[in-house]
Amino acid sequence: MAVLADFGTSWTKILDTESGERRIEKTKDLASFKADLATGHNTNNRARRTVNELIALGNGSMQQVDNKEYTVLDVGSRDVKYVKFVRGKVAEMNWSAKCGALTGFTLELILNYFSVDLARIKPGKGTMGITCGVLGMEQLFEAIASGQSIEAALADFTRGLATNAYQFIGRPRRFYLSGGMCENPLFLKSFPPGVEVLPLGRFVLVEGLRCEYELER
C-alpha cells in the first residue's frame, strides 16, 4: 500500500494504491499531509521519495496513450511542460515557468472573479499576445476598460494562453493535454483550427508515480 501525490501549486492530486481512491485537495490545506511517493512543485519534505515532474508526465502518459509517437502537454497553475515521444522513446522534453508563468492560476483567478460560465463562451476571434498569465491580466482588464465585453476579452485572453502553450510545444497537429485545463472547455476550443487536442485528465503525473511504485515492489 502507498499514497501517491502530485503536489501542484494550487491543487494536489492523491491516489491510494490500496483502495484505488483518487481525490483532489487544495495544496494549501495539506500542510501536515505526507505521501510515500510524490512529484510536483510543492513536494519538498512531503514524501519519502520524489520523482521529477517530466519523468512522471512521460511515464503517466504512456499508460493512457496507445501511440508510439506523440506529444503530451501539461498546463499547471505555475508552469507548462511537455514530453515528446518518437518511436516509443523520449525525443524531447522541456519545462518553463517563464512563457507559461502562472498560466493556470491566473485563469482560475480571473474566472472566479468574474463568475462566468465557460461552456457558454465562444472561442476568441482575436488573440492577446500573452507571454505569461500575469502580464496577460493587464491586457485583459485594459480590453474590458476599452469597452470589450467580459466574455469576449476572456475568450481572447484564453486564446492567447493556448497559442503561447501551443507554440512552446512545437505546434504539432495533434497532442495530448494533461492537468486542470482538461476541464476548461474554452481553453480546449482556443487552439488553432484543425489542431486535435486530446485531454487525459488531471491524474497523469500520479499515474506516472504509480509506474515508479510498481517498479519498487
CB 37 within 8 A of CB 4: yes
Instruction: Give the torsion sign (CA, 136, 141, 145, 149).
Output: positive
Per-residue pLDDT of 105-126, as tens digits, reads 778 888 888 888 888 899 988 8
Per-residue pLDDT of 9-49, as tens digits, reads 889 999 999 999 999 999 999 989 999 999 998 898 899 99
User: Domain-by-domain residue ranges, the chain?
Assistant: 3-52+205-216, 56-202
Per-residue pLDDT of 131-159, as tens digits, reads 666 777 888 888 999 999 999 999 998 89
Q: Which residue has the cell 501517491?
A: 4
Band (pLDDT 50/70/90 cuts) for residue 91 is very high
Instruction: Give the torsion sign (CA, 105, 111, 117, 123).
Output: negative
Here the cell at position 109 is 483567478
Alpha-carbon span 5 to 30, nearest angstrom: 11
Alpha-carbon span 71 to 217, nearest angstrom: 29
Domain 56-202: give its CATH superfamily.
Answer: ATPase, nucleotide binding domain (3.30.420.40)
pTM of the model: 0.91
> What is the largest distance, in Å, between two alpha-carbon atoms of the chain?
60
- Mean per-residue pLDDT over the chain, rounded: 90
CATH class of the domain whose range is 3-52+205-216: alpha beta
